[in-house]
Structure 1
Amino acid sequence: MKVYFAAPMFAKSDLIYNSYLVEKIREKYPELIIYMPQENGAINDKTAFADSKMIALADTEKVEESQLMIALLDGITIDNGVASEIGVAYAHRIPVLGLYTDSRQQGADNQQKLDALSTVAENQFHYLNLYTAGLVKLNGQIYSSEEDLLNGVDDFVNNERSFNE
């Protein structure tokens, strides 16, 4: 089964985390063929040249070949490239498992945090673009921990199920 790993990849911390998480998935599921764009030197060696069309064609081809996408949704906003890749996956009915670990999700039952929502500039929670989140949820799941994500991958791989059935 081919898996597309969609994640931000421009800060060193992104590159390290992406490699760490993909390695965990590869160790647990050696049968999966995971495409991680940062490993594609032909388009992502930042000391070399690749124009926008080269990048779009290469990554879109890999999304379209996949049976599953894993997408990292963390950040100030969802990474633009990740959001685009999610859109391509949705258009091709490729299930997406999203990982959203932002700690500001915690405390959803804290009444003080809920009350603060009515005060200007006191939102205690992080906003995730609802359109992009909706595309994931229409044909997949969003998880808040690596453990839950790995369980989701396990469920998908072992049941080969579609999330929109």
Structure 2
Amino acid sequence: MKAYLANGLFSIGDRYVNEIIADKLRTAMPSIELYVPQENDAINDKNAYANSLAIAQADIHSLKESDVLIAVIDGVEIDSGVAAEIGAFSMLNRPIVALFSDVRQLGRTNSKKIDALIADGTENQFIYRNLFVVGLIKQNGVIVSTVEEAVEAVKKYL
């Protein structure tokens, strides 16, 4: 199985999270061929140079070759590159496993949070995800909350 891990890759936090997810996927499924863009020095060694076409061509090629996309949709907004990768991959009608670990999705049954939101929209205790991107994920995939759930979801597509 070939898989593609989509997440931001420019901050230490993103790179660290990518390493953790990649390690857990590779440990759980030793035969997986996992493409992690930050590991592709030809386009992501920031001491070197790769233009936009080279980056797009490398990532699109890997998306087309992949059987499943694992996409991290955390952050203030979904990373623009991740959103683009989800959009491109959704056109292939292949499964997408999205990891959304933001703790603000907790407490959905807390009536005080719901009542506060109804009374005043600025008292939103939750987080918004772009519904178009969420819909693209749900067409052929799932949204999970933990790395372990993501690994189990990917295993189902083996």
User: In the alignment, which residue of structure 1 is the partner of 2:125?
Assistant: 124
Q: Which amino acid aligns with 1:141?
A: V
| Greater relative CO, 1 or 2 (CA 8 Å, sep 6+) | 2
TM-score by length of 1: 0.93
- 1:93 paired to 2:93: yes
CA distance in 2, matches of 1:125, 1:14: 22
Partner of 1:156: 157
Q: Aligned equivalents of 2:95 and 2:152: distance in 1?
A: 15
Q: Deviations over 1:5-40 (max 9, x none)?
A: 111111011101101110011011011000000000
Distance 1:107 1:137 in 2: 22
Distance 1:84 1:19 in 2: 21
Residues 9-88 of structure 1 mapped to structure 2, 5 A cutoff: 9-88=9-88
Give the whole-Å Cα distance in 2 for the aligned partners of 1:135 and 1:120: 26
* Unpaired segments ≥5 residues, structure 2: none
Whichever residue aligns with residue 126 of structure 2, its letter is F
Which secondary structure state, in structure 2, belongs to the residue aligned with residue 156 of structure 1?
coil
What does residue 111 of structure 1 align with? 111
Aligned length: 157
Would you identify which runs of 4 or more consecutive aligned residues in structure 1 move more than 2 Å? Answer: none
- Letter paired with 1:74: D
Quick one: percent identity of the two aligned structures? 43
Measured after TM superposition, the shift of residue 48 of structure 1 is 1.0
| Structural RMSD (CA) | 0.8
What is the TM-score with the length of structure 2 in the denominator? 0.97
